[in-house]
A and B are shown apart, each in its own frame.
Chain A
Amino acid sequence: MKIQVLTDILKANQTIALENKKIFDKNQILVLNFMSSPGSGKTLILEKTVEKLKKDFNFAVIEGDVATSKDAERLAKYDIPVVQITTESFGGDCHLDANMVKKAMETLDLSGVQILFIENIGNLICPAGFDLGEDKKVIVLSLTEGEDKPSKYPVAFRNSDLLLINKIDLLPHLDIDLDLLMENSKKVNPELFSIKLSAKTEQGFENWLDWLVKEYRSKAQKKCTSEG
């Protein structure tokens, strides 16, 4: 007996992602999903961002790793709500999905939170296919990864809204063609906005902070406009 289905395989994830987004929007929280290879410097970027902006904004973080809570411990030092998801308990998944974020939200105090960072598992393939309920996807690339990453991981680059090119302080020590990296990125996603920075030396960091503040204000403005 044949049964028609005609359904998206990841329908369940999409449904939960939309539910998550409704909650975030109702609470006027800007949510960013950070994706990258392992070792790109995502966590240091988040640490420095919270350190510099916590006097102006209330942050919260959902950390995703296969194992350990080391990254969550680093962010918790800034006295902000942090929840660690370790996917070991979900079977060792290499990406976060909307249901994991939904479970994390049950233990996270979102009252008063204005900006939520979701630091995804270090992986440039799988996270790109799973919406979590975020407003924007941010991809972090370390300069040490070379020029051809965008061509090798087109889905992640096409699905992202912002590219942070980190460790720019290492440029004098690397054989990397930065113009070629930018060209490869544009070929895969012409609309991907990029910012070059160093989380360590803070070179270019203010451009990322400006982008973040602008995104927060833009979301808040849209909310005000829609409420008339």
Chain B
Amino acid sequence: MHEMAVAENIIKVIEEKLAEQNQKGKVTKINLKIGKLTCVEPEALRLSFEVISKETPFQKASLYIDSVPITGKCKDCQKSFSLNDLEFACPFCSSFRMEIKTGKELFIESFEIE
């Protein structure tokens, strides 16, 4: 499952940031923004993270996941809307042509160390 690759990359990005800022310490909290369109399952991500962070400075880190809903703008009627399931039809004019505004995020906002 790709949640494992995502967990590995979270650790890589944070390690780079720590090196860049010349900081060390145990990571206690990681704040993530994950869009629904990425199909990254939060619980699967937490489990993958738990597995790969064992016996590393990340092993006590809690993942706080802000799940971002899918919103779009219709290219035909120009109206903006939310999509609650993965059927990409404009609720106003039923067009399938749309620009996705949010929902694709796979982002580390911040983290905390002690």
Contact = CB atoms under 8 A, between A and B. Distances in A.
Interface in A24-70: none
Interface residues of A, number: 32
B12 A154 contact: no
B13 A12 contact: yes
B9 A5 contact: no
Contacts of B13: 5, 7, 9, 11-12
Interface of B: 1-2, 4-6, 9-10, 12-14, 17-18, 21, 23, 25, 32, 37-39, 86-89, 96-97, 106-114
5 contacts: A97-B5, A125-B1, A129-B2, A186-B96, A189-B88
Contacts, number: 92
A113 interface: no
Contact of A187 (B21, B87, B109): B87
Interface of A: 1-13, 91, 93-95, 97, 125-126, 129-130, 151, 154-155, 158, 186-191
A70 B18 CA distance: 43
Nearest to B86: A154
Given A9-B13, A155-B39, A188-B86, 11 more contacts: A1-B113, A5-B108, A6-B109, A7-B17, A9-B6, A10-B106, A97-B5, A125-B2, A126-B2, A187-B87, A190-B97
B96 A2 contact: no
Contact of A3 (B5, B107, B111): B111
Contacts of B111: 2-3, 5
Contact of B107 (A7, A97, A125): A7
A7 B33 CA distance: 10
A95 B6 CA distance: 12
